Structure 1
């Protein structure tokens, strides 16, 4: 008799195997070199644009560029930053962190390209709201309706039955139950009501919550990680050396760590890195398309900082905390490993676990909001505005059901559909590469003759 779990696991390993990882990293590497290391050379400009208020009267859009970035970050900064990093290092050793950095570096160029295209090919609906994302540049740029439909269908699947609901709901309820002894049923009711309250308000409501919660929680979490690093500063040089050496040599078994080959470090680091920052998957362009901007290049620059914040900063902080405290060599895994690192690093069995749990709760909540918006954009694309309310009601019901769902199969299904999302999007990026290059050249040629207005 066929084992459904084993079949899904085989499909998952195939989807997230070397071909997709090479396509993801290869696309990022291509844009990195064709655009002249744009993510390094123009990162200061991009960061200035992020924290500047748009005052241009010609800028069209639904929310500010900063709010659009926060909406995208709300979906990416989540359990992956706490659980995903721990999983990568547990499987691949400290060297996995180096490969996460490399995936993020190339991923910034990919994120730039896909969000540039999202703004260039966006449309306005009957209500005057922006419609954009891979569906539109696949349909109108590439000229392929079936690829666009396929992307939209996979995204709805991820939003409803994958990363957007069940894993996040369970992460919140587990954290509330274990750390604060709150009953799961009561927590599930409160969570469902909060999700309904925010999501029924649309992008304006989601972006308002995202702009307040995401930066606040990211700063609190980074400060907590920095506290662990500062308290263990004497081991920092050795930890960084371990990351660099382990990236190119097998890591020996020690403590609860079983040992890892170089290939395992590469695969786990890149896969978890991409899973965390979503560069190339096509999710962030849907948020970028709603931004008030008069330049697709400016929004591309702003959006690429999302990968910088998510992986280069937050994932690095988590990784260093795990390595400095020796948590990666224990028998703990996932959130339990990160909790142990904080408890050890801060020398507190109450403050450490509380910080991780609070981080998980807020990060998971904003991930639900972000994916609700992505699902809604794809529903509008496939079925029109009339289908939005039924989708939102279904989404809220699924959040409520999340408290009773078993997660072993759900995580695998979510992983598969998430990976499948990337394929049509990456095809679109490759086919529209000349558009990205031309728009970039034109923008920087004009900016050399006239200085960039960071308030525009």
Structure 2
């Protein structure tokens, strides 16, 4: 079974997803008039709360929506995902992660604007957002099979099995194995059960509790990780320019990639970027669609900051640590254990503990937010009155992720993400003219207000 999962994931990400995500994202990037570059400053003002509204539909603030979305994206994809990308595609894969992030900013701008523009209601009458509602409300009932396809893939693909797997790996490597406390498979089961209980305490409180916890954890984990990485980079500061040059040159030579093909490096970079920042997958529109915001463009501007923070900033920092320490060439470790080796080499004695804390916070915050995504998909398929059953299914699979193999877990999630991206990108491109028209109206209004002052 594992072999079929791996083969399917490799096939669908080879060309179909490259064309859909990077090609479609590039089209949106150009169609927007390079909006992510032109209005980045305005987006930062918006997220700081300058234009917050009250007494509008929704469940959480725009800032909380961004925090929850970043909690799901700034996580183990930035630690393990980057390591996997370098392992599989060499340093050049990071360049293609950057390219995916820039076009992903445009994709998130359009998809999250649409999530506010075309909100729907679940069976209990609660305002909801996300690709499934965008498709049904914006494209019409005849497109509902795409909504169902997205939701089915979301129920399965938004499980936190990868986070459980990698958190188990780092806890065993740092705390248990060195102290002779690891009993192999039984230890994985125990750690999985402990993670399940911790996540249950938060997610059973619903989106408001998830958003409240995420809005506190996200700044903490980003600052901690950023500070640790900067500390490492200072030690190797003279080598930073050469490592950046290595990323740029290797992106077009493909010498370190599987088979030595540039195309393989591009696929690996795009695949890991999609897992890291989730642009075009459809997860962020679900949480941004719950925002207390009546202005679609404003929500889209907030959302587009996600891929920038996630991939351009955090993933680059991780990549530089791995490359600067040279562990990518001198060890056979994979995933989080490769990053762990880099931290331990650069900061002997305590580096691994700092990374362990970061991984713990990253993994748990992602687990909290993913539960909300899957819950919304289940809600759409089976109704609000049955949606809470999903939480119990979600919690049980955390244990399964802790004991499964990394290759199967990564391939399963990648495969489901690919299926989710199909309805998301089709609807985003189809309805893009609506967003472009709203963008013009919004910025014309902003100019008039500035002149009026």
Name structure 2 gaps, 5 residues minimum: 182-186
Q: What is aligned with 2:322?
A: 322
Q: What is aligned with 1:446?
A: 445
2:75 is the counterpart of 1:78: yes
Alpha carbons of structure 1 residues 398 and 8: separation in structure 2 relative to 1, 3 Å: closer
Moved more, 289-298 or 119-128: 119-128
C-alpha displacement at 1:351, in angstroms?
1.5
C-alpha displacement at 1:308, in angstroms?
0.6
In structure 2, distance between residues paired with 1:148 and 1:259: 37
Give the one of 11, 16, 22 matched to 2:13. 16
Name structure 1 gaps, 5 residues minimum: none
C-alpha displacement at 1:362, in angstroms?
1.6
2:98 is the counterpart of 1:130: no
RMSD across aligned C-alpha pairs, in angstroms?
Answer: 2.2
C-alpha displacement at 1:53, in angstroms?
6.0
In structure 2, distance between residues paired with 1:74 and 1:330: 32
In structure 2, distance between residues paired with 1:99 and 1:258: 15
C-alpha displacement at 1:34, in angstroms?
1.4
1:11-410 alignment runs, 5 A limit: 11-52=8-49, 55-124=52-121, 129-143=126-140, 144-159=143-158, 164-181=159-176, 184-251=188-255, 260-332=260-332, 333-346=334-347, 348=348, 350-410=349-409
Q: Indicate if the aligned counterparts of 1:171 and 1:361 stay in contact, CA closer than 8 A.
A: no
Alpha carbons of structure 1 residues 411 and 258: separation in structure 2 relative to 1, 3 Å: closer
Moved more, 11-20 or 279-288: 11-20
The DSSP-based 3-state class of the residue aligned with 1:451 is: helix
C-alpha displacement at 1:127, in angstroms?
6.2
In structure 1, distance between residues paired with 2:119 and 2:450: 26
Q: Indicate if the aligned counterparts of 2:116 and 2:294 stay in contact, CA closer than 8 A.
A: no
Alpha carbons of structure 1 residues 272 and 62: separation in structure 2 relative to 1, 3 Å: same
In structure 2, distance between residues paired with 1:358 and 1:188: 17
C-alpha displacement at 1:265, in angstroms?
2.2
C-alpha displacement at 1:411, in angstroms?
3.1
In structure 2, distance between residues paired with 1:128 and 1:396: 26
The DSSP-based 3-state class of the residue aligned with 1:293 is: coil
The DSSP-based 3-state class of the residue aligned with 1:61 is: coil
Residues 260-285 of structure 1, C-alpha deviations (whole Å, 9 max, x = no match): 43223222112211221010000110
In structure 1, distance between residues paired with 2:84 and 2:9: 16
In structure 2, distance between residues paired with 1:191 and 1:264: 35
In structure 2, distance between residues paired with 1:336 and 1:193: 25
TM-score, normalized by length of structure 1? 0.91
C-alpha displacement at 1:43, in angstroms?
0.8
Residues 237-270 of structure 1, C-alpha deviations (whole Å, 9 max, x = no match): 1111212222222436xxxx98843223222112
C-alpha displacement at 1:119, in angstroms?
0.7
Alpha carbons of structure 1 residues 406 and 92: separation in structure 2 relative to 1, 3 Å: closer
In structure 2, distance between residues paired with 1:372 and 1:270: 25
In structure 1, distance between residues paired with 2:87 and 2:397: 31
Alpha carbons of structure 1 residues 215 and 290: separation in structure 2 relative to 1, 3 Å: same
C-alpha displacement at 1:100, in angstroms?
0.9
Q: Indicate if the aligned counterparts of 2:91 and 2:246 stay in contact, CA closer than 8 A.
A: yes
In structure 1, distance between residues paired with 2:173 and 2:312: 30
Matched positions, count: 440
2:425 is the counterpart of 1:426: yes
TM-score, normalized by length of structure 2? 0.92
In structure 1, distance between residues paired with 2:224 and 2:275: 22
In structure 2, distance between residues paired with 1:249 and 1:188: 41
Residues 321-380 of structure 1, C-alpha deviations (whole Å, 9 max, x = no match): 11112122223332222112212223x1x2221122222222111121111101111111
C-alpha displacement at 1:421, in angstroms?
0.6
Residues 405-453 of structure 1, C-alpha deviations (whole Å, 9 max, x = no match): 4554343222211111101111111211211211111111111111399
Residues 124-167 of structure 1, C-alpha deviations (whole Å, 9 max, x = no match): 557664311000111111121111111111100113xxxx2322
Where do 4+ consecutive residues of structure 1 move more than 6 Å? none
C-alpha displacement at 1:95, in angstroms?
1.6
